[in-house]
Amino acid sequence: MADPHVVIIGGGFGGLQAARALRGAPVRITLVDRRNHHLFQPLLYQVATAALTAPDIAAPIRKILRKQKNVRVILASAQRIDAESRRVELDDGHLDYDYLVVAAGATHSYFGHDEWRPFAPGLKTLGEALEIRRRVLLAYEAAEREPDPALRARCLTFVVIGGGPTGVELAGALAEIAHHTMARNFRSFDPNDARVLLLEGGPRVLGAFDERLSAKAQAALQKLRVEVRTGVMVTRIDADGVEVAGERVAARTVLWGAGVRGVPLGATLGAPLDRGGRVIVEPDLSVPGHPEVFVIGDLAAVKDGERMVPGVAPAAIQGGAQAAKAIRASLGGRPRPAFRYRDKGSLATIGRSAAVAQIGRFRFSGYLAWLAWLLVHIMTLVGFRNRVAVLLDWAFQWFTWQRGARVVLENPPVEGPPRP
Pairing mode of beta strands 290-295, 286-287: antiparallel
Q: Where are the alpha helices (DSSP H) in 183-263?
A: 211-223
Given the residues 169, 176, 200, 282, the one annotated as active site: 169
Q: Strand 346-349's sheet: what is its strand order?
A: 346-349, 355-359, 362-365
Tell me, rounded to whole angstroms, the distance of Cα 181 from its chain centroid: 24
Shortest distance in whole angstroms from residue 70 CB to its own copies:
10
Cα separation, 122 vs 98, whole angstroms? 35
Nearer residue to its own copies within complex by CB, 239 or 379: 239
Cα separation, 207 vs 203, whole angstroms? 8
| Bridge partners (DSSP) listed for residue 255 | 160
Shortest distance in whole angstroms from residue 182 CB to its own copies:
9
Concerning whether 141 is annotated as a catalytic residue, the answer is: no
Nearer residue to its own copies within complex by CB, 246 or 416: 416
Nearer residue to its own copies within complex by CB, 128 or 169: 128
Cα separation, 345 vs 278, whole angstroms? 23
CB atoms within 10 A of CB 363: 16
Nearer residue to its own copies within complex by CB, 184 or 340: 184
Nearer residue to its own copies within complex by CB, 62 or 336: 62
Residues lying near its own copies in the complex (CB under 8 A) are found at 35-37, 53-56, 58-60, 62-63, 66-67, 72-76, 93, 117-119, 121, 125-128, 130-131, 134-135, 137-138, 141-142, 144-145, 184-188, 239, 252, 385, 388-389, 392-393, 396, 400, 402, 404-420
Cα separation, 206 vs 167, whole angstroms? 9
Shortest distance in whole angstroms from residue 125 CB to its own copies:
6
Nearer residue to its own copies within complex by CB, 30 or 214: 30
Shortest distance in whole angstroms from residue 372 CB to its own copies:
25
Cα separation, 128 vs 385, whole angstroms? 23
Shortest distance in whole angstroms from residue 180 CB to its own copies:
12
Pairing mode of beta strands 279-280, 286-287: unpaired
Nearer residue to its own copies within complex by CB, 361 or 419: 419
Shortest distance in whole angstroms from residue 97 CB to its own copies:
17
Q: What is the DSSP letter of 114?
A: G
Shortest distance in whole angstroms from residue 11 CB to its own copies:
13
**Which amino acid appears at position 84 of this protein?**
E
Cα separation, 6 vs 290, whole angstroms? 14
**Which amino acid appears at position 184 of this protein?**
R
Dihedral, CA atoms, 370, 376, 380, 384, nearest 10 degrees? Answer: 70
Beta-carbon contacts of 112 under 8 Å, excluding residues fewer than 6 positions away, are none
Nearer residue to its own copies within complex by CB, 114 or 247: 114
Query: Please, are residues 170 and 48 in contact by the beta-carbon 8 Å criterion?
Result: yes
For the chain, give the number of residues.
420
Shortest distance in whole angstroms from residue 224 CB to its own copies:
21
Cα separation, 14 vs 102, whole angstroms? 9
CA quadruple 275, 276, 282, 287: dihedral sign: positive
Query: Please, are residues 284 and 337 in contact by the beta-carbon 8 Å criterion?
Result: yes
- Cα 12 to Cα 40, 133, 142, distances in angstroms: 8, 23, 36
> Would you name the residues annotated as active-site residues?
169
